[in-house]
Amino acid sequence: MNMRPLSVAIIGATGMIGQEFIRVLEHRRFPLGQVQLFSSDRATGKKLFVNHKEVDVQEVSSRSFEHIDLAFFAPGAEVSRHFSPIAAKAGAVVIDTSAAFRMEPWVPLVIPEVNPQDLKDHKGIIANPDCSTIQMVMALYPLHKTNPIRRIVVSTYQAVSGGTGAAAMEELTVQSKQILEGRNTTPHIYPHQIAFNVLPEIDVFLYNGYTKEEWKMMEETRKIMRAPELGVSATCVRVPVYICHSESITVEFANPITPEDAKKTLSQAPGIRLLDDPDISLYPMPWSVAGTDEVCVGRMRRDVSHPNALVMWVVADNIRKGAALNAVQIAEVLLQKGWMKVA
């Protein structure tokens, strides 16, 4: 990427995704010039290293975005909703990992391997999809292009790092230790203990019995794939895993499709890694996928209940491809295509 270094801001820099932004930007040798790190007032004064240089974490304010080319947002939706328009008005291109703008008609919701063309006419704010949506659509869209998808039924098994971050990871550790020592445990992050348990509740319940997380997956998938009539049903479950979301996906196509044809298509798709050999128990698992960039697919098989359907198992690192990596890839596309005006 041959261009001058960019002035970059990371909002939510001390959180899990914010720190992953730093690692991904360094690893991919993104053209970083001045880097400014922002967080809440509680984190003000902390110091983090970026490209071996110590950078102070500042409290974000309405004046934080002067002379910023690119702003990566990784705070909660409320902070993003307030500061993203301010940053965009100041001239920065905002890439937001929260849910604040995902379903706004004027905001591109982008997975670079799927719909990079949607970035072309952005208006200063670009949304990163939900981590569970990203890995599912990554696995399904290459198949959809060859054989239109009619219906998706997905069950997710989501790590505690997703959405609830370091505090939930700590709670899982503490609860596990307490239970193994025969002590009582009290949940703080979730409505019930997460250690040695699974919770079919992520985010709030809606009027129709779905949770907000499930509804987000369904609506985001339709928007990204430009398929407003696509049938999608999701059940999202929190599991006692630190990193990586897993998904069991049943997908119905317009025409018959074999597992062999699907695997051939996915083997040629960018960002996908096939791990699928039942004879040697080869399939994606969180412990082996954590820290990697690919969306991993396995357990590909016919759905014996429907002639045009397949079933598969998909695992990805929710902090990397599910958040920071996808956002950095968006920035890379903007630069490569000349769709980002840099002063």
Same domain, residue pair 308 and 173: yes
Mean pLDDT of all residues belonging to the chain:
96
306 is catalytic: no
Stretch 238-256: mean pLDDT, rounded? 98
Same domain, residue pair 175 and 303: yes
Give the residue from 143, 139, 136 showing the smallest Cα distance to 254: 143
| Residue 343 located in a structural domain | no
Specify the pLDDT at position 42. Answer: 72
**Residue that has been written with the tokens 């994606």 in this structure:** 284
Specify the pLDDT at position 6. Answer: 96
Q: What are 236's strand-pairing partners?
A: 156
| Residue 291 located in a structural domain | yes
Domain region containing 108: 6-129+323-337
114: CB partners within 8 A, 6+ apart: 137, 138, 141, 224, 225
Instruction: Tell whether the model's pLDDT for residue 30 goes beyond 70.
Output: yes
Same domain, residue pair 166 and 116: no
What is the C-alpha to C-alpha distance for residues 189 and 105, in angstroms, rounded to an integer?
33
Given 122, 144, 244, 245, the catalytic residue: 245
Position 343 confidence tier, pLDDT thresholds 50, 70, 90:
very low
Same domain, residue pair 172 and 140: yes
Instruction: Tell whether the model's pLDDT for residue 132 goes beyond 60.
Output: yes
Give the residue from 189, 156, 168 showing the smallest Cα distance to 286: 156
* Structure tokens given for 318: 């929710």
Instruction: Tell whether the model's pLDDT for residue 123 goes beyond 70.
Output: yes
The pairing of strands 53-59 and 47-50 is: antiparallel
Tell me the three state secondary structure of residue 298. strand
Instruction: Tell whether the model's pLDDT for residue 2 goes beyond 70.
Output: no
| Residue 1 located in a structural domain | no
Same domain, residue pair 118 and 149: no
The per-residue pLDDT for range 36-74, each reduced to its tens digit, is 999 976 777 799 999 999 999 999 999 999 999 999 999
Stretch 303-310: mean pLDDT, rounded? 97
C-beta neighbour count of 29 within 10 angstroms: 9
Same domain, residue pair 151 and 286: yes
The per-residue pLDDT for range 291-305, each reduced to its tens digit, is 999 999 999 999 999
Specify the pLDDT at position 78. Answer: 94
What is the C-alpha to C-alpha distance for residues 6 and 36, in angstroms, rounded to an integer?
11
Position 342 confidence tier, pLDDT thresholds 50, 70, 90:
low
Same domain, residue pair 117 and 240: no
Specify the pLDDT at position 164. Answer: 87
Given 131, 236, 244, 296, the catalytic residue: 131
Q: In this structure, are residues 159 and 242 in contact, taking their beta carbons and an 8 Å threshold?
A: yes
| Residue 298 located in a structural domain | yes
Question: DSSP code of 72?
Answer: E
Same domain, residue pair 28 and 86: yes
Q: In this structure, are residues 291 and 317 in contact, taking their beta carbons and an 8 Å threshold?
A: yes
Q: In this structure, are residues 202 and 163 in contact, taking their beta carbons and an 8 Å threshold?
A: yes
What is the C-alpha to C-alpha distance for residues 196 and 63, in angstroms, rounded to an integer?
46
Stretch 257-286: mean pLDDT, rounded? 98
Specify the pLDDT at position 41. Answer: 65
The per-residue pLDDT for range 101-112, each reduced to its tens digit, is 999 999 999 999
Q: In this structure, are residues 201 and 192 in contact, taking their beta carbons and an 8 Å threshold?
A: no
Stretch 131-155: mean pLDDT, rounded? 98
| Residue 155 located in a structural domain | yes
CATH number where 40 lies: 3.40.50.720
**Residue that has been written with the tokens 């499930």 in this structure:** 214
Specify the pLDDT at position 44. Answer: 73
Same domain, residue pair 138 and 122: no
Report how many domains make up the chain.
2
131 is catalytic: yes
